[in-house]
Structures are given as structure tokens and as C-alpha cells.
Structure 1
């Protein structure tokens, strides 16, 4: 296992070939794109996401995204803020209605680079999505205007709710991460 750090993103413990490839692509993008933390669909952009676990750590909070009509973790655009852990936490608060969310680590949990389909406003483009792990501490969930619904999905039921590999990666990475192995 190796560790690598990017300014504005943090430290990532690279465990798999997938981790190394996603991190390599993210490093290259951030190193060459002056607007990496902006929102330009012509170049793609870095986004920040939050896997928010329930207090007992047996469920994850997912949002049914209005535009994409699928279940995903909470998260969003950096909009020029080059502090992705902050963006992920801010988006988690804005999209969940929760009153207190705590980071479970100061490290990057996962990186997933994926294409966002073209829509009426933007061309198809890449999201360089950096994900962090959090735990809900207090509050009731309330969906924001960006989603159809929110749901606490038991980790054992995740594959029944979504087929998104970017969400399903949570199950395979979670146990080693929580045990201190990552």
C-alpha cells in the first residue's frame, strides 16, 4: 500500500490497481487543468462526495438524484473551492438535512472518475469525484431540491438499490478502512 497527497484533496492510501489508476488520472488532471476545481464542462472538474454512514455504521445515506434519476452518495461541485474535504462535508449537510456529521478519517476514501451525460445545458464531461467517509451523529434527514428522496440503505442491501460501481465500491472498501487497514 502506498500513500499519496494532493493539495486541496488530501492523502489517499492506494490499495488496488483501480485506486492507483484513478489517483494517477486525478493527479494528471489537477496538474494540467488550471480550473480543475471549477465547473467547466468543456474540461471536466473535481467534485466532492460524502459516504455518510448511520450512527451504527450499518447503513449509508443515499440520495435519489433528480437529474440522473438514480441513487448516489451525497456530493457536488467544488464551484471554485479548492478544499474538497470541505466541499464534501458542506454538500452532505446541504443535501441531507442532518444537524451533525463527523468525518471518520481525514484521508480520501475513494476516487471515482466517471462521465456525466450531456444535458440541455452542458456537454458530456468527466467528474473527478473525490469521496470521503463520514458518520451521522444527529438530526433527521430531509431531501433537498436536488433529489427525489433520501434513504438509509443497509450496506447488505446496497446492490438491490443501485448498480452503480461508484457506489458499490463502498462495501468492498469499508471494512479495511474502518479497521485501520487503509
Structure 2
């Protein structure tokens, strides 16, 4: 898995504002403990998530995270059985939403490091590798893992959550859609 993480980070189109995040992620790859293990708390571990575009490509799917009481993209821990981080992100989307989303962009689309508060585990950091997927239906079955879901248009994200960890990738997705890259 470490070599796959190195390759993902090496292939990431690094915006200047994300250099520090990228450097911290690159350092975590060489951490003495497994950097994908959910029991690596110092400083934390890799996670995988996905921004899922609506069929019309005009909105992104967010799910309501119970513990954090926030609307976030589907995602979570990289499990030992996951082939790679992208497979983990796709699995999390399926588990949380019931959607089998298609890969729209093969490489990492965004990176983020955010604090996860102490609870049953000590507080730690999530080094999130984010991917871009596409839904072929607007009907989201949902699951017992989430409290709810919603499609959020690009211009609505600041009203839902103004945290840069959401507004920055939403802007990237909007630019990607506008470029006709699909």
C-alpha cells in the first residue's frame, strides 16, 4: 500500500496552496507504523473519500456525518482488504449511500488533513485522499451509516458549510465540469 500511496501523491497535480499538506502526507507514507491503519494515531492515518457528481454534473452528493454533525463527502478508513485508496473511496460511497459510482478522474482529485476529535479513540488527524466519482442516478438509497444525504450545487456549498476543506474541492469540481474534461 505504501508504494501505491507514494504513486498517488507523486501523480497529484499540486496547487501551490497545498504544498504543506502534500509534504505532510508524503512524510506519513514513511511512518514506522502502518499509515493506513485506523489505529495509527500519532499523528494519524490516511483516509479516502469521494466527491460524487450528480448525473447532470451540476451538484455534489454530501452525507450527514453523525459524530461530527456536519455535511461531508462520503468517505472513511482504508480497510486492509481494499486494493488501494480509490477502491476504499468507492467502497465507502457504496456503504454510505448505496450508489455504485463511476470513476471520473483516475488520480487523486484533492487532498486534505483535518483533525478528528477524541472519543473512543484519541484525537488524531485524517490525511484524506479525495477522488472524483459520478452517479448515474439522483436517487440515493442511503444506508444506516448516515443520517441523511443531499445534492449540493457548486454555488450553494458556502451556505451549507464554509470550511475550506469543502469549499476548495467544490470549486475544483466546478472548474473540472466547466472544462468539459469528462
TM-score by structure 2 length? 0.87
Number of the residue aligned with 1:50: 50
Residues 57-72 of structure 1: matches in 2 within 5 Å?
Answer: 57-72=57-72
Secondary structure at the aligned position of 1:138 is classed as coil
Gaps of 5+ in 1: 1-5
The answer to which structure has the higher helix fraction is 2
Gaps of 5+ in 2: none
* Worse-superposed segment, 29-38 or 66-75: 29-38
Report the RMSD for the aligned CA atoms in angstroms: 1.9
Kept in 2: contact 1:118–1:125 (CA 8 A): yes
- Residue deviations 1:3-51 (CA, integer Å, cap 9, x gap): xxx6246221112222x22111101011124311110152311000000
Residues 130-169 of structure 1: matches in 2 within 5 Å?
Answer: 130-138=129-137, 140-169=139-168
The answer to which structure has the higher strand fraction is 1
Residues 95-134 of structure 1: matches in 2 within 5 Å?
Answer: 95-98=96-99, 100-119=100-119, 121-134=120-133
- After superposing on structure 2, the runs of 4+ consecutive aligned residues of structure 1 that deviate more than 4 Å are none
Q: How many angstroms does 1:177 deviate by? A: 3.4
Q: How many angstroms does 1:170 deviate by? A: 2.0
Number of the residue aligned with 1:35: 34
Gap change, CA 1:82 and 1:42, over 3 Å in 2: farther
Distance 2:121 2:40 in 1: 6
Distance 1:141 1:154 in 2: 16
Distance 1:132 1:12 in 2: 11
Secondary structure at the aligned position of 2:51 is classed as strand
Q: How many angstroms does 1:82 deviate by? A: 6.0
Residues 88-99 of structure 1: matches in 2 within 5 Å?
Answer: 88-98=89-99
Kept in 1: contact 2:111–2:128 (CA 8 A): yes
